[in-house]
Amino acid sequence: MAEYSSTELMAVVAARTLEDRKSVFVGTGLPMIAAVFAQRTHAPRLLIVFEAGGIGPRVPVLPVSVAESKTFHQAVAASSMHEVMSLSQGGYLDYGFLGAAAIDRYGNINTTVIGDYTHPRARLPGSGGANDVGSFCWQTIVIMRQERRRFAEKIDFLTTPGYLTGPGAREAAGLPAGTGPYRVITQLGVYGFEEQSKRMQLIALHPGVTVEQVQAESEFEILVAPEVAVTVPPTAEERTLLHQIDPMGMAVGK
């Protein structure tokens, strides 16, 4: 039996996708803890940017939201939402890091409604800055729980653009060339996007997970890379650090 939880595994694997000396526009929840964890470990020069205007903070513990005062702790700039959105639009942010309620084969994200927009079965938080993040950051990383209904053949609402309908669609819609979805991290594995088709592709499985399990939890066919890696689970030291960053268990649990 694994000594780590699936949430701890997702957070650590997601953190490892963030490179040192890069910048990341961070969304609420697990993206925050993964970014802070990366900054405390292999990427000490990772520049974290929060939606409310905190640029380059050294966050002591996990903030409640992207607008809490902790997001300005030891920051290089206490700026504004307008400023950080402008940084994104100007092409200065390497990664956008988001959660999602549902996603499709091209990395399009729904965080707005489940069901019909005017009479939804569930109304979700909406975009916030996620549309801007997915539109303008160079590489978008998504962390989410994978279930068949959430890996949807067709999402109910397009909140944040992925590759839209496939190759060339982002550019045709006026979005910057070279931007788009980069990684999706779930409790089952890690996904990229196949270069030619722009479709989601399995590139790594978590320990003990099979390709069949991955496909069973998706409404659409997931492409499989020629070589599929196996992720390295979090160590005891990494798990301890996660819980030091998140002492209230808001993201990774107690």
Instruction: Read off φ and ψ for residue 49, nearest 5 degrees.
Output: -125, 130
Q: How far is 14 from 35, CA to CA, in rounded Å?
A: 8
Alpha carbon dihedral 165, 102, 194, 36, in 10-degree steps, equals: 130
Give the count of beta carbons closer than 10 Å to the beta carbon of residue 161: 21
Amino acid 109 reads I
Six token digits for residue 231: 């992720």
Furthest-apart CA pair in the chain: how many Å?
49
Residue 149 · residue 101 · CB < 8 Å? no
The single residue of 3, 19, 51, 153 carrying the catalytic annotation is 51
State which amino acid sits at residue 248.
M
Q: Count of CB atoms within 10 A of residue 49's CB?
A: 30
Structure tokens at 27: 């969304």
Contact 100, 124 (CB under 8 A): no
Distance between CA atoms of residues 48 and 39, nearest Å: 8
Active site residue 219: no
Q: Are 215 and 194 in contact (CB under 8 A)?
A: no
Annotated active-site positions, please? 51
